[in-house]
Structure 1
């Protein structure tokens, strides 16, 4: 399995794991059907598919900075959308999309990758209509969730991921900054929510893709983990999921606001 296949498999599993709860938050934030929606950082189209199904009367522009990823999304979303969907290569830090077009913009797990999130906020604001809504969903690795019993190797792995992403200009601690980014960007009626996804809700086995041994093997094959590190992590995962007393929780951070 290639690196991108492992990544996409994990992404799809993670979306399926939390989507029922994320849908409830979209309802809580009064997201209505029949809107013009911009999805920023659509990836292979997994969230796009969920949004198309949830809002059958809305139109969607789904973007990603990578043309290869847009091609993957085109292949994945080979369904009749009644011309409700446009897939476009676009970089939100240097966007070429039309201004003032969208009622709603959604950026899920995007801001952690950006080297200038304030610029992204500024550009998104230009793309929204007056009164348009922005929803950002992301993570904070210092508050990612919890495992009981605790697995030190997971904490070490998150730190490694965070350092690698920081070296590339990203920030896996962005969750704590979402409210301030939107407030500084001039948004009004800003909401800030933490959404827990727990093994009591969805079952412990649902977390096997989040704590994925295939990904650990891939990280080892690419030299990102030593053999000893990989073996130790995989053994810890096996012990964790074999216990009836284990508990897992993942935490998402969500901020929403409106353009004046």
Structure 2
């Protein structure tokens, strides 16, 4: 099934202006807070999986650059090519030293074998079909180049204490809304199979965890707070009563000195065979870099 068309004509279940309360400005703030919360944990796993420290890294779905800036700081030897299909969102990406290119993950404006690594961070969950994007990643990677995907899975999102079972139906509606738009919030469990099916070798899966033992509870508000539910109320997916319930439970949770939360991320990686990978089956693109 294809995803319904977004108002701006872009495909997929992600719409930055309708992801959280406050519109685009709210989403820009959320993405910055999200990256600040977990990037250090993600970076340790990226290093373990063999993300190169030099060469060209294609960051697909780079958006406003919250991760781009951190990659440039942590890995100054990498040339980061920040790419996003949303030109307006990419315009906010001002990461020093990174090239910015508007492009679609399913038809990359890059030559075969022109990059050393591809990073897709919370991108695949929004695509109605991941196969074309993974095939394109394989095409533009040099032989031996590495793909890294970072994702979520609703079935293993983490843990929290105390638990509010009454929020279960609300969380189910959030997942259903994304699924109805062509997305998949249970994609984490399928990442390794997807990479193998796309022809990648040396496929591996790692998890990272970020908890309130190491971060203030307020830092988790973009993930657990009610702001992300507000657009669903406007779209008729949730009621005002459900939003009020979620807001009340978040207040209780964040004010509880004994409250604790841990969020889990899935990181899957693979490489293109040095003898040539699935990208060899695709036509040459005459574009840059």
Q: TM-score under structure 2 normalisation?
A: 0.82
Structure 2 counterparts to residues 1-260 of structure 1, below 5 A: 2-73=22-93, 77=94, 80-81=96-97, 85-260=98-273
Measure how far apart 1:155 and its partner are: 3.1
Relative to 1, partners in 2 of residues 1:68 and 1:245: Cα closer, same or farther, differing over 3 Å?
A: same
Measure how far apart 1:71 and its partner are: 1.6
Asked whether the equivalents of residues 36 and 59 of structure 1 are also in contact (C-alpha less than 8 Å), the reply is: yes
- Provide the aligned C-alpha RMSD in A: 1.7
Could you tell me how far apart the structure 2 residues matched to 1:150 and 1:110 are?
29
Structure 1: runs of 5+ lacking an equivalent: none
Which residue number in structure 1 is paired with residue 280 of structure 2? none
Deviations 1:43-80 (A, max 9, x none): 1111111111111121111111111112222xxx1x64
Measure how far apart 1:222 and its partner are: 4.9
- 2:195 match: secondary structure: helix
Measure how far apart 1:234 and its partner are: 0.6
Deviates more, 1:105-114 or 1:48-57: 48-57
Relative to 1, partners in 2 of residues 1:9 and 1:80: Cα closer, same or farther, differing over 3 Å?
A: closer
Measure how far apart 1:153 and its partner are: 4.9
Asked whether the equivalents of residues 189 and 258 of structure 1 are also in contact (C-alpha less than 8 Å), the reply is: yes
Give the length in aligned residue pairs. 253
Measure how far apart 1:27 and its partner are: 1.8
Deviations 1:94-141 (A, max 9, x none): 222222101010000000011111221111000100000000000011
Measure how far apart 1:32 and its partner are: 3.1
Relative to 1, partners in 2 of residues 1:80 and 1:227: Cα closer, same or farther, differing over 3 Å?
A: closer
Measure how far apart 1:93 and its partner are: 1.3
- 1:93 match: secondary structure: coil
Measure how far apart 1:216 and its partner are: 3.9
Q: Higher helix fraction: Structure 1 or Structure 2?
A: 1
Asked whether the equivalents of residues 133 and 259 of structure 1 are also in contact (C-alpha less than 8 Å), the reply is: yes
